[in-house]
């Protein structure tokens, strides 16, 4: 499956994906109805993920990253409608089109937790303040594995709290969320997501609310757990430093589209899209003086309402080609094997 390739929906069928892939998203479109207008939040997103791969989905706020990830897990609100295909390989080897499943149906509910999970931005809102941390983690295990006893579930929770580096887990397991620091809550949330050993994990800005030291510890922990459990991780972030440290491949998203896709080395050493170049220029440098201002991309991400066929970045791009970028859809172009971009400034490579 190539970046930008469109899917052909022919109705219910036996779905097939490449044997090395756990996830194939094909021409995903998500519209959000807000009052009297519709937001075209995701516009034809296509990407694949291999087993054990870490993919970084990068872009400014409002680009559609979180909507894309939540549509995969089927947790977008009711005012969202979707089209395309999201093909997921279960542990049993069955390939399901997640968009055809009932969001609150038994199949989808069975997948969440045991097959796929999500780490949210703010861990404090992910836990109920009325129950202990241990109670909430044990509940996840007993819901998905009804034959597990309370004693067995508690023992597994203790083991998982130890695994994510929480000191004195025998005491912490009976404490409430308000008794945990932000870093400890993030560790507890990671433990909750891994209790049933899912194959696919979405990490939505998992370190945004943490200080730099704790952020580094959490990222190192996630790398170790990914290696141990063999998970595929979709990192949703605007921090390219996290991407460089954690990911194998990068998908740069802007205004509901993936505008550039490649390996970490390709994106960082040979960026092609003006938006990708702008994001990289915005990174602070080690030798940068205090008086030197950080580079800022002019303008803001527009509301995706009544989107016309064009490059979504044209009105913020200093290299926009009038009569081309602003009035026609830009198809993907291959830069080198595994590296694709939607920009007319890039010469078309050999396919």
DSSP strand E in the chain: where? 21-34, 37-50, 54-58, 80-89, 95-97, 116-119, 200-204, 232-237, 249-254, 257-263, 333-336, 339-341
Domain of 137?
127-197
Q: Residue 195, exposed/middle/buried by CB under 10 A (0-12, 13-18, 19+)?
A: buried
The rounded distance, in Å, linking the Cα atoms of 160 and 181 is 18
pLDDT of the residue at 209: 64
pLDDT at 76 over 70: yes
Strands annotated E in 61-192: 80-89, 95-97, 116-119
147 located within any domain:
yes
Residue 68 lies in a domain: no
Q: Residue 280 has which token pair?
A: 């990289």
In-domain check, residue 178: yes
Check residue 350 and give its pLDDT.
42
Give this prediction's pTM.
0.86
Q: Does 80 score more than 60 pLDDT?
A: yes
Q: What's residue 310's pLDDT?
A: 87
Is residue 335 domain-resident?
Answer: no
At residue 78 the predicted structure's pLDDT band, cuts being 50, 70 and 90, is: very high
Residue 4 pLDDT exceeds 80? no
Residue 110 within any structural domain of the chain:
no
Confidence (pLDDT) at 86: 97
Region of poorest pLDDT, from 35-39, 84-88, 258-262: 35-39
> Strands 116-119 and 95-97: what pairing?
unpaired
**Nearest one of 249, 244, 307, 310 to 279, comparing CA atoms:** 244
Q: Which range (175-189, 261-275, 289-303) has the least confidence?
A: 289-303
Instruction: Answer whether residue 167 is part of any domain.
Output: yes
Question: Which distant-in-sequence residues (6+ apart) come within 8 Å of 131 by Cβ?
Answer: 176
Mean pLDDT, rounded, of the chain: 87
| Count of domains forming the chain | 1
Residue with the bigger pLDDT between 348 and 6: it is: 348
pLDDT bin (cut points 50, 70, 90) of residue 347 is low
Per-residue model confidence (pLDDT) at position 241? 81
pLDDT surpasses 90 at 29: yes
Structure confidence at residue 102 as a pLDDT band (50, 70, 90): very high
pLDDT reading at 157 higher than 80: yes
**Range from 209-213, 277-281, 291-295, 340-344 carrying the lowest mean pLDDT:** 209-213
Task: Kindly state whether residue 270 falls inside one of the protein's structural domains.
Answer: no
Question: In the structure, what pLDDT confidence band is assigned to residue 65 with cuts at 50, 70 and 90?
Answer: very high
Q: Residue 13: which pLDDT band, with cuts at 50, 70 and 90?
A: low
pLDDT at 127 over 60: yes
136 part of a folded domain: yes
Residue 251: pLDDT over 60: yes
């Amino acid at each position: 499956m190539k970046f930008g390739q469109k899917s052909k929906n022919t109705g219910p069928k036996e779905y097939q994906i490449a044997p090395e892939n756990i996830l194939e998203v094909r021409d995903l479109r998500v519209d959000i109805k807000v009052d009297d207008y519709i937001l075209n939040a995701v516009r034809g997103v296509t990407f694949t993920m291999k087993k054990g791969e870490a993919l970084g989905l990068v872009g400014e706020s409002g680009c559609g990253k979180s909507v894309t990830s939540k549509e995969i897990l089927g947790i977008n609100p009711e005012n969202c409608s979707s089209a395309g295909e999201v093909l997921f390989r279960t542990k049993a080897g069955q390939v399901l089109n997640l968009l055809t499943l009932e969001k609150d149906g038994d199949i989808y509910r069975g997948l969440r937790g045991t097959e796929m999970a999500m780490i949210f931005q703010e861990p404090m809102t992910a836990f109920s303040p009325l129950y202990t941390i241990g109670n909430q983690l044990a509940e996840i295990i007993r819901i998905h594995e009804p034959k597990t006893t309370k004693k067995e579930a508690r023992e597994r929770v203790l083991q998982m709290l130890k695994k994510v580096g929480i000191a004195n887990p025998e005491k912490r397991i009976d404490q409430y969320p308000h008794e945990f620091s932000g870093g400890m809550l993030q560790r507890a949330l990671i433990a909750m997501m891994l209790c049933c050993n899912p194959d696919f994990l979405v990490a939505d800005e998992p370190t945004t609310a943490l200080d730099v030291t704790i952020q580094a510890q959490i990222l190192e922990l996630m790398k170790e757990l990914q290696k141990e459990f063999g998970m595929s991780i979709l990192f949703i972030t605007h921090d390219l430093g996290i991407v460089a440290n954690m990911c194998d491949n990068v998908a740069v998203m802007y205004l509901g589209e993936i505008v550039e896709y490649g390996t970490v080395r390709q994106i960082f050493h040979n960026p092609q899209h003006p938006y990708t170049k702008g994001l990289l220029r915005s990174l602070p440098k080690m030798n940068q003086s205090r008086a030197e201002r950080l580079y800022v991309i002019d303008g803001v991400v527009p509301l995706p309402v009544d989107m016309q066929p064009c490059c979504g970045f044209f009105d913020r791009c200093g290299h926009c080609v009038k009569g081309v970028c602003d009035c026609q859809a830009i198809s993907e172009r291959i830069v080198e094997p595994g590296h694709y971009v939607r920009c007319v400034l890039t010469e078309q490579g050999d396919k």
